[in-house]
């Protein structure tokens, strides 16, 4: 493995900066026991929120919140179930925000996004 790949995988580029974790949706194509049981969300913030998806109108605010982060880890639920994910990823790219995606990787919706 080359040095650049090793640096990325070890997240050495983060240095003293922060990794921002952003849940874009509560939707998921699975019902894993470790994530949620019945209709309860696994984290206390998720349980208290009525919102299912991040509102597109809030995207610009996220730039201000995450501008000093080395990377945004996009999570959910299952991020690909967020109806606006493709547009959101293009928005982050356009604004030069580095991101990674935490996914179960088995949704058929990936085909549309990756195309």
- What pTM, to 2 d.p., does this model score? 0.75
Task: Say what the pLDDT of residue 4 is.
Answer: 62
CA 80 – CA 90 distance, rounded (Å): 14
Work out the pLDDT band at 30, boundaries 50, 70, 90: confident
Q: What is the CA radius of gyration of the chain?
A: 15
- The contacts of residue 53 (CB under 8 Å, 6+ apart) are 24, 25, 26, 27, 82, 83, 84
Mean of pLDDT values over 45-62? 79
- The contacts of residue 61 (CB under 8 Å, 6+ apart) are none
- The contacts of residue 52 (CB under 8 Å, 6+ apart) are 25, 26, 27
């Amino acid at each position: 493995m080359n040095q650049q790949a090793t640096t990325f995988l070890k997240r050495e580029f983060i240095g003293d900066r922060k990794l921002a974790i952003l849940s874009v949706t509560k939707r998921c194509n699975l019902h894993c026991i470790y994530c949620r049981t019945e209709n309860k969300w696994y984290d206390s913030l998720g349980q208290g929120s009525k919102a299912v998806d991040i509102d597109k109108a809030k995207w610009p605010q996220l730039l201000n919140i995450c501008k000093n982060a080395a990377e945004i880890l996009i999570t959910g639920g299952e991020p690909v179930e967020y109806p606006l994910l493709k547009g959101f990823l293009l928005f982050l790219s356009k604004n030069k925000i580095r991101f990674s995606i935490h996914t179960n990787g088995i949704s058929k919706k990936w085909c549309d996004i990756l195309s």
